[in-house]
Structure 1
């Protein structure tokens, strides 16, 4: 399965800054705080995806509402953990279904 166009890291920080209204400095700060994870080219240029832009907008809204970066990071980690647990649960259920030859109706 190929990755969605939304997840391809092809957008430079300058364009991300224009699209979000966030300064490149603020975007780099969010990266330092481990809220966003751009890819780097061999030359060191940061590349972002449309999903990253959406995440940056959510972060900016939360910051504007007075939420601290460490709280945002904690919430992001919880969402990741919850998704991993849900994926693991689905995988185990699929294995059980296959083992016991259970078909969904």
Structure 2
């Protein structure tokens, strides 16, 4: 049996289960979706499906809210972190292209 290394990102959990796991009400979870802090997928019937990564993110959001952080500030932090991650990936891709172009092998000087 092949194990998916990205199982945490598979959207398979219903909002009711997410509510039980996080201690948040379904209304709070939907509110965080409205504020663009969480992005569930929808089934053909319109039901929301979440991943384990989403559950972790919701717990992090709830903890920050308990500390008094506003949803706007959480969203800004998420955007900033995404830009950093995008830049890191872009740099890795460019480094790979340069290495391939000039025949540089990883680990050799």
Cα deviation, 1:54-88, whole Å, max 9, x if unaligned, reads 00000000000000000000000011110000000
* CA displacement at 1:4 relative to structure 2: 1.1
2:102 equivalent to 1:97? no
Cα deviation, 1:34-56, whole Å, max 9, x if unaligned, reads 00000000111000000000000
Matches within 5 A, 1:30-49: 30-49=32-51
TM-score norm. by structure 2 comes to 0.93
Q: C-alpha separation between the residues in 2 aligned to 1:97 and 1:4?
A: 28
**Secondary structure, aligned partner of 1:47:** strand
Cα deviation, 1:13-43, whole Å, max 9, x if unaligned, reads 0000001000000000000000000000011
TM-align CA RMSD: 0.9
* CA displacement at 1:103 relative to structure 2: 1.1
2:8 equivalent to 1:27? no
Matches within 5 A, 1:1-105: 4-105=6-107
TM-score norm. by structure 1 comes to 0.96
* CA displacement at 1:95 relative to structure 2: 0.3
- Corresponding residue pairs, total: 104
* CA displacement at 1:104 relative to structure 2: 1.8
- Structure 1, unmatched stretches of 5+, are none
Q: C-alpha separation between the residues in 2 aligned to 1:85 and 1:29?
A: 30
Q: C-alpha separation between the residues in 2 aligned to 1:42 and 1:10?
A: 13
